[in-house]
């Protein structure tokens, strides 16, 4: 119907920002993307991207917007003042803080996603040392939600699990209560919860309706999962700048470093994210057409090399080791052979990741659905099928359309007869 409200999804990924608009049938009406210019660490770059992308939506579509939701890189953490002004760069999700590990272990004695040098909690403790006056600690998506609302109170539960939020208990750990910085933490709301309406200033700047509802989003990996429509026996692999694996389950994963369990759409979703991924390929082959280079690979054969394709020192999953070194040599003369070996290395990390999730209680997937840029590479898909022993299908719908579904659901619940009863 021409006048039904539309939903906007904003995906703050590892390498850039993408937006997507969907209608009530979840059909994609508009999508646009831009890369970061300064990098993931720069909040000004996140806002620059939004102020470029959102006004590019055709006005007839923009005027029909009823709700929006934001996803961001889980673990990218920012210190700001109570007016939302950043006090410096964000610490990206892959930034380990090994000097904080003893303090982290004192605070989180039962293990879990926050009990790691690569956790948001470790980054929070570093930021708190850098900024002694009263601060707020906000993850990327939560800070952008605050910018849209002009109100930085809120945090979405999935984005804060690695900061220590206990999803099953719906609270912060008891040990946090004695800390002076407890007031720096957000007021947590579940994914899909309406947080308020767009501020008048942002409405004017972005050309969006001033009654548009801002809905708590999720992490970038979870947003990708929402687009996949995975069956109960399917695992989900996101082959973006980083490699992420996820699995819907009947009960949460047992605690394990580098892993987390989320609640998405009323279902448990467990998984982990490696520091390896497509960013390594861009680093090693700057400006190279990897699609063309991949055509020279025979995925039925082994490269004969054993590489560990990390972009820099440190890994968080399937092993949690801030000291783990990349293995990017020897580099053969043939670029095609080198790419072959790197794709095998990535596939081994994926295989080890699925084994690790099974050790923590996840059922073994019988097939996989793949999202992200790597989902478009047929040679890599076949190589992974051979190494993992599972059939794989690809999904190319952008994650921004996944987080838009959360905004759409909130819109539909608001307009349903049940929401007006009682």
Long-range contacts of 4-7 (CB under 8 A, 24+ apart): 4/64, 5/64, 5/65, 5/66, 5/67, 5/411, 5/415, 6/61, 6/64, 6/65, 6/66, 7/65, 7/66, 7/67, 7/68, 7/69, 7/404, 7/405, 7/407, 7/408, 7/411
Contacts with 399 (C-beta within 8 Å, 6 or more apart), sequence order = 9, 11, 13, 18, 71, 220, 223, 224, 226, 227, 371
Whether residue 419 is predicted with pLDDT greater than 50 in this model: the reply is: no
Say yes or no: 59 and 87 in one domain: yes
Whether residue 2 is predicted with pLDDT greater than 90 in this model: the reply is: no
Lowest-pLDDT choice from 22-26, 355-359, 418-422 = 418-422
Whether residue 420 is predicted with pLDDT greater than 50 in this model: the reply is: no
Say yes or no: 288 and 386 in one domain: yes
Q: Which residues pair with 244 in a beta bridge?
A: 238, 273
What digits encode the pLDDT tens for the residues 3-57? 789 999 999 998 899 999 999 999 999 999 999 999 999 999 999 999 999 999 9
CA atoms within 13 A on the CB side of 34: 15
Tokens of 51: 């102020």
- The stretch 379-389 carries a mean pLDDT of 97
Number of domains in the chain: 2
Whether 72 is in a domain gets the answer yes
CATH code of the domain containing 124? 3.30.420.40
What digits encode the pLDDT tens for the residues 103-130? 999 999 887 889 889 899 999 999 999 9
Say yes or no: 407 and 344 in one domain: no
Contacts with 50 (C-beta within 8 Å, 6 or more apart), sequence order = 10, 17, 19, 144, 206
Whether 1 is in a domain gets the answer no
Q: How many CB atoms lie within 10 A of CB 165?
A: 24
Whether 54 is in a domain gets the answer yes
Strands 367-371 and 16-22 turn out to be: unpaired
What digits encode the pLDDT tens for the residues 117-171? 989 999 999 999 999 778 999 999 999 999 999 999 999 999 999 999 998 899 9
Question: Before 95, cis peptide (omega within 30)?
Answer: no
What's the domain range around 68?
A: 6-220+403-420
Say yes or no: 195 and 267 in one domain: no
d(CA 288, CA 275): 22
- The stretch 256-262 carries a mean pLDDT of 83
Give the pLDDT confidence score for residue 396 in this predicted structure: 84
- The stretch 53-76 carries a mean pLDDT of 96
Tokens of 319: 């092993």
pTM of the prediction? 0.83
Say yes or no: 340 and 288 in one domain: yes
Tokens of 73: 């890189």
Residue 138 main-chain phi, psi, to 5 deg: -135, 135
Whether 119 is in a domain gets the answer yes
Say yes or no: 241 and 370 in one domain: yes
Say yes or no: 304 and 249 in one domain: yes
The 3-state DSSP class for residue 189 equals: strand
Give the pLDDT confidence score for residue 336 in this predicted structure: 97
Contact status, residue 273 vs residue 356, Cβ threshold 8 Å? no
Give the pLDDT confidence score for residue 218 in this predicted structure: 94
Say yes or no: 160 and 249 in one domain: no
More confident residue, 420 or 266: 266
Whether 176 is in a domain gets the answer yes
More confident residue, 209 or 94: 209
d(CA 392, CA 123): 36
Say yes or no: 114 and 205 in one domain: yes
Give the pLDDT confidence score for residue 276 in this predicted structure: 94
Task: Tell me which H or E stretch contains 105.
Answer: helix 101-107
Q: pLDDT > 70: what percent of the chain?
A: 98
Mean pLDDT in the chain?
93
Say yes or no: 186 and 235 in one domain: no
Say yes or no: 92 and 150 in one domain: yes
Whether residue 72 is predicted with pLDDT greater than 70 in this model: the reply is: yes
Whether residue 89 is predicted with pLDDT greater than 90 in this model: the reply is: yes
Whether 225 is in a domain gets the answer no
Give the pLDDT confidence score for residue 113 in this predicted structure: 84
d(CA 87, CA 130): 10
d(CA 406, CA 412): 10
Find where tokens 């040599």 sit. 329
Tokens of 274: 């490696």
Give the pLDDT confidence score for residue 416 in this predicted structure: 63
Say yes or no: 177 and 237 in one domain: no
Question: Before 330, cis peptide (omega within 30)?
Answer: yes
């Amino acid at each position: 119907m021409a006048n039904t409200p539309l939903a906007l999804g904003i995906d703050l990924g590892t390498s850039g920002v993408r937006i997507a608009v969907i209608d009530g049938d979840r059909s994609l009406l508009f999508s646009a993307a831009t890369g970061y210019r300064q990098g993931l660490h720069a909040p000004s770059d996140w806002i620059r991207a939004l102020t470029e992308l959102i006004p590019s939506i055709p006005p007839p579509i923009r005027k029909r917007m009823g709700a929006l939701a934001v996803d961001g890189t889980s673990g990218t953490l920012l210190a700001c003042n109570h007016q939302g002004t950043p006090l410096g760069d964000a610490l990206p999700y892959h930034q380990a803080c090994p000097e904080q590990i003893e303090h982290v272990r004192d605070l989180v004695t039962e293990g879990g996603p926050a009990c790691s040098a690569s956790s948001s909690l470790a980054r929070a403790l570093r930021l708190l040392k850098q900024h002694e006056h009263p601060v707020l600690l906000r993850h990327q998506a939560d800070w952008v939600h605050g910018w849209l609302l002009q109100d930085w109170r809120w945090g979405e539960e999935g984005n804060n699990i690695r900061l220590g939020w206990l999803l099953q208990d719906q609270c912060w750990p008891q040990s946090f209560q004695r800390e002076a910085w407890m007031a720096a933490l957000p007021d947590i709301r579940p994914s899909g919860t309406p947080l308020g309406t767009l501020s008048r200033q942002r409405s004017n700047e972005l050309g969006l309706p001033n009654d548009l509802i801002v809905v708590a989003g999720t992490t970038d990996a979870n947003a990708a999962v929402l687009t996949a429509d995975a069956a109960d026996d399917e695992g989900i692999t996101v082959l973006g700048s980083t490699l992420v694996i996820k699995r819907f389950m009947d009960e949460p994963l047992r605690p394990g470093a580098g892993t987390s369990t989320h609640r998405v759409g009323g279902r448990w979703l467990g998984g982990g994210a490696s520091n390896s991924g497509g960013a390594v390929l861009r680093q090693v082959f700057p400006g190279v057409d990897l699609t063309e280079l991949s055509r020279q690979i025979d995925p039925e054969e082994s490269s004969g090399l054993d590489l560990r394709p990390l972009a820099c020192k440190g890994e968080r999953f399937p092993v949690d080791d801030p000291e783990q070194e990349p293995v990017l040599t020897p580099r053969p003369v043939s670029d095609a052979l080198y790419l072959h070996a790197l794709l095998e290395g990535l596939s081994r990390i994926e295989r080890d990741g699925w084994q690790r999730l099974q050790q923590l209680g996840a059922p073994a997937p019988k097939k996989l659905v793949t999202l992200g840029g790597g989902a478009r590479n047929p040679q890599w898909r076949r190589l992974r099928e051979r190494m993992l022993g599972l059939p794989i299908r690809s999904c190319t719908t952008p994650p921004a359309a996944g987080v838009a579904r959360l905004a759409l659901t909130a819109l539909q619940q608001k307009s349903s007869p049940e929401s007006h009863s009682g």
